[in-house]
């Protein structure tokens, strides 16, 4: 199933209502319980000359891992995010990103993801702890109105 940017979501990574956002789209593979995306990130996401900015790499990994929560049908927010930058991610290179669940402990979902080049070489790897919340909790914690009572789209 293709996960296109939601035109009502203002998320920088995957929202469709953010003119300055990345508009990331993913594919949900129910059989393997994995989320995948194929991207080519342009010079607007550059850090050093010719290289994608490390914060953008972290954003892409956070987004793909956050989408994995869909398999459990839960709302979750990033609590911890660790990124390993293994090789340079080049501007305008074809990239494959994938996210998956490692384990669940109570309200904590431990997720992982990686960014590869088209030959399969791992360029960056991420691990995250995502905490499951309910729409009621989001509203009680003074979350923005657009999150209260609606699925969080990461």
C-alpha R_g of the chain: 15
pLDDT in tens, 17-52: 888 988 899 999 999 999 999 999 999 999 999 999
pTM of the model as a whole? 0.86
Sheet holding 26-29, edge to edge: 2-3, 26-29, 34-40, 94-105, 108-117, 122-133, 75-85
Q: For residue 140, count other CB atoms closer than 10 A to its CB.
A: 11
Q: Confirm whether 103 is domain-assigned.
A: yes
Indicate if the pLDDT at residue 148 is higher than 80: no
Q: Confirm whether 31 is domain-assigned.
A: yes
Q: Which of 119, 124, 147, 145 is nearest to 64 (CA)?
A: 124
Q: Confirm whether 56 is domain-assigned.
A: yes
Domain span at residue 51 reads: 2-140
Can 62 be counted among the known catalytic residues?
yes
Q: Confirm whether 128 is domain-assigned.
A: yes
The single residue of 29, 62, 114, 142 carrying the catalytic annotation is 62
């Amino acid at each position: 199933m293709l996960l296109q940017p939601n035109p009502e979501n203002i998320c920088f990574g995957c929202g469709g209502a953010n003119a300055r956002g990345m508009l990331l789209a993913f594919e949900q593979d129910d059989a393997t319980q994995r989320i995948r995306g194929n991207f080519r990130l342009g010079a607007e996401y550059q850090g050093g000359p010719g290289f994608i900015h490390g914060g953008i790499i972290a954003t892409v990994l956070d987004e793909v891992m956050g989408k994995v929560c869909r398999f459990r049908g839960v709302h979750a927010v990033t609590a911890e995010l660790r990124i390993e930058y293994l090789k340079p991610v080049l501007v305008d290179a074809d990239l494959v990103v994938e996210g998956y669940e490692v384990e669940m402990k109570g309200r904590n979902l431990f997720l992982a993801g990686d960014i590869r080049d088209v030959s399969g070489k791992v360029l960056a790897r991420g691990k995250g702890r995502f905490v499951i919340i309910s729409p009621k909790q989001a509203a009680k914690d003074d979350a923005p109105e657009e999150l209260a009572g609606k699925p969080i789209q990461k």
